[in-house]
Structure 1
Amino acid sequence: MHNQTDIKSRPNSLSLFTNWYFIEIPKFFVLVYTGLQKKIWYYFNITFLLKTIFQPWKRDLVVPVNPSIIYYIQAFIENLISRFMGLVIRFVAIITGLVLIILVNVLFAVLMIIWYCLLFLLILSFIKGILGLINS
């Protein structure tokens, strides 16, 4: 036999639903969102790219073997080209990573807005259906 305290201590369906809808699922959305943000940040390694933005590409430096002025000028130009290539490639990677982070932020905001609006649309549809049944 059930006693009165067992029945009162059990949560009802409405409290279970509100807990699921307003707490559990948004927690899951935030967990997925932060995981995506971390994966994008670490995949593109934006911090490291910013620290090394002016480094030569693939650490490719030319050191002149002969102490001639022509070789020094040639090494300087090749090193300058290598640094420019590193700058361009790192800049594109940084911009791509930041665009993806912004895109994830926007999609997360849209998802949360849609998620909370769905409940109100469901309630409004239910009320409209009942009113339609009453009026017909």
Structure 2
Amino acid sequence: MSLLAALRHPKRSTSILLTFFSWYFLEMPWKIVRSWGEYIRTVGEIFSFIFLLKTFVKPWKSITDKYPDKGFNIGIIAQAFTLNCTSRIIGMIFRSVALVIGIVIEVMVIAVFFAILIVWFFFPILVVMDILLLFETI
């Protein structure tokens, strides 16, 4: 039996239409949301936002200088304090840059996701409008 003959039968065409609409508007959007959720989670893991926030004020590469245990030498204490503060500031700068880049990429991924989802829902309407426009211009 040909496809055209199968579509001519009213019960079959109704069943095919219902199956198509169920697939197009229920199943596939859910699959799109799940797959893009994985992309969003992956970007979050690549930039490891939680780790960056937990270690935000930690020294860069754990570069620190110990304070003297014995005696009071203001020069050595100032040197250790300066190195420790500088290392923390450098760490904060690098982590801030990584956080900003990660957030920008995350926002871009979410924007692309919403664009794809909107195009998915409006594509049938656009196809019908294009067909009507095609017949109108002929």
**TM-score band, normalised by the shorter chain?**
0.7 to 0.9
Instruction: Map Cα deviations across residues 22-43 of structure 1 (whole Å, 9 max, x no partner).
Output: 1122112101111011111122
Could you tell me which residue of structure 2 aligns to residue 114 of structure 1? 119
Could you tell me which residue of structure 2 aligns to residue 54 of structure 1? 57
The amino acid across from 1:115 in the alignment is: W
Q: Distance in 2 between matches of 1:11 and 1:75?
A: 79
The amino acid across from 2:119 in the alignment is: I
Instruction: Map Cα deviations across residues 41-83 of structure 1 (whole Å, 9 max, x no partner).
Output: 1221112211221110122211145742211111111111100
Which of residues 83, 88, 106 in structure 1 aligns to 2:88? 83
Q: Distance in 2 between matches of 1:132 and 1:14?
A: 29
Identical positions, percent: 29
Q: Which runs of 5+ in 1 are unaligned?
A: 1-7
Could you tell me which residue of structure 1 aligns to residue 129 of structure 2? 124
Q: Which runs of 5+ in 2 are unaligned?
A: 1-10
Which of residues 33, 47, 50 in structure 1 aligns to 2:36? 33
Q: Distance in 2 between matches of 1:49 and 1:71?
A: 31
Which of residues 17, 20, 38 in structure 2 aligns to 1:17? 20
Aligned length, in residue pairs: 127
Could you tell me which residue of structure 1 aligns to residue 66 of structure 2? 63
Q: Provide the TM-score with structure 1 as the length reference.
A: 0.80
Q: Distance in 2 between matches of 1:20 and 1:127?
A: 25
